[in-house]
Amino acid sequence: MIKTIEWTGEGVVMIDQRLLPGEEVYPIFRTCEEVAQAIEQMVIRGAPAIGVAAAMGLALGLKQSKAAGDAEVEKEFDQMCRRMARTRPTAVNLFWAIERMRWRFNRSRKDGGSLDQIRSALIQEASLIYEEDIDSNRKMGAFGAELIPEGATVLTHCNAGALATAGFGTALGVIRAAVESGKHINVFADETRPFLQGARLTAWELAKDDIPVTLITDGMSGHFMQRGRINCVIVGADRIAANGDVANKIGTYMVAVAAHENNIPFYVAAPLTTIDLTLNSGEEIPIEERSESEVTHVRGERMAPPGIAVANPAFDVTPHRYISAIITDNGVAREPYDLSLKSLFAELETGSRKID
Ligand code: MRU
């Protein structure tokens, strides 16, 4: 399996996703600030992977802290958490992971831990977040695989694969699990302008796993749906509001509308850590605006006239009415999402179940 991110004694190693598929390079990030910059600059991307990177970055920061005394350590850790939280605004997994590291820090301090003990606790917590993410993806895969018919052609947008998580993937995890269960699945991958996560990452990942994949440009998916070539759509998510509205990579909304128009099931696969019950609807989800150069340039070469006005929102919101089901690591939720999503959290105490 592809190693997206790894904790080592010297720092955090990540595959540099900006260089794929041309070069497979694994640089090491040696400070909390270097990890924060790696998230900002898209060395690592994808909601769950960003959360794991942030957790490892904070563990690394505290490991290297030279702070003297409790108050200084606390102040320094708080600054590192705030820095990490400024990296990218949309994927809620980032904030979830930071809060979980804060919780572990505070618990360790309350237990009277020495600085060394707090450091070890944070390293342990970051590894737990990493391992739990792979486990979540496997669970989502098992729930979701049942929804994919034998012989299906599945359309996906962006990259919600091993590269976007600690491993296995969310949307691609469901596809992988369906293939592992013996189903013959074909994938259509949208190229996903402007960062080309579909062309560069999804196509690379699936081809590596020998899962048949056809690459199309973003404007083509409606055509293939209309011609009966797509049996279902499955995408990941960056943040899901309490009513089931889903923020995901820009272009997802148009895919969902076209799927609805053509009576094609549209599934979202995401762990509970992507669900933000504090937001009532997708309108409240902050949408990241990225650099104009991602739109005007391709691999350093300008494609648009100089001085042209450019907009580059990195995500959009798909209203819950277009979503056939949300596949989580604790079961499959359907309309009404305001009830089914809440109940998946409540079920955490008593074990997994399916909501139909
Ligand atoms: O800008 P990115 O590449 O971080 O956006 C990623 C996506 O939109 C993914 O679909 C989402 O994070 C789900 S990844 C399991």
82: phi then psi, degrees, rounded to nearest 5: -65, -40
Quick one: which atom of ligand 1 is closest to the CA of 248? 8
- Tell me how far the alpha carbon of residue 74 lies from the centroid of ligand 1, in angstroms: 32
* CA Rg value for the chain: 20
Q: Active site includes 238?
A: yes
Pocket test for ligand 1, best of 45, 205, 267 (most atoms within 8 A of CB): 45
* Cβ neighbours for 142, distance < 8 A, ≥ 6 positions apart: 177
Of 264, 251, 272, nearest to 323 by C-alpha is 264
Cβ atoms of residues 201 and 192 within 8 Å: no
Decide whether any atom of ligand 1 lies within 6 Å of the 248 Cβ.
yes
How big is the chain, counted in residues?
Answer: 356
Cβ atoms of residues 170 and 137 within 8 Å: yes
Task: Please report, for residues 82, 103, 171, 174, 270, the alpha-carbon distance to residue 160 in angstroms, rounded to integers and kept in the order given.
Answer: 26, 28, 5, 10, 9
Work out whether the CA dihedral 178, 182, 188, 191 comes out positive or negative.
positive
* Cβ neighbours for 91, distance < 8 A, ≥ 6 positions apart: 46, 47, 50, 51, 238, 239, 274
Each residue's pLDDT tens digit in the chain (356 positions)? 789 999 998 999 999 999 999 999 999 999 999 999 999 999 999 999 999 999 999 999 999 999 888 899 999 999 999 999 999 999 999 999 999 999 999 999 999 989 999 999 999 999 999 999 999 999 999 999 999 999 999 999 999 999 999 999 999 999 999 999 999 999 999 999 999 999 999 999 999 999 999 999 999 999 999 999 999 999 999 999 999 999 999 999 999 999 999 999 999 999 999 999 999 999 999 999 999 999 999 989 999 999 999 999 999 999 999 999 999 999 999 999 999 999 999 876 554 444 44
Of 170, 152, 325, 149, nearest to 230 by C-alpha is 152
* Cβ neighbours for 286, distance < 8 A, ≥ 6 positions apart: 89, 90
Pocket test for ligand 1, best of 41, 159, 285, 318 (most atoms within 8 A of CB): 159
Catalytic residue among 190, 238, 276, 329: 238
Q: Which domains does the chain have, with CATH numbers?
A: 5-137 (1.20.120.420), 141-350 (3.40.50.10470)
Decide whether any atom of ligand 1 lies within 6 Å of the 48 Cβ.
yes
Cβ atoms of residues 147 and 232 within 8 Å: yes
Decide whether any atom of ligand 1 lies within 6 Å of the 52 Cβ.
no
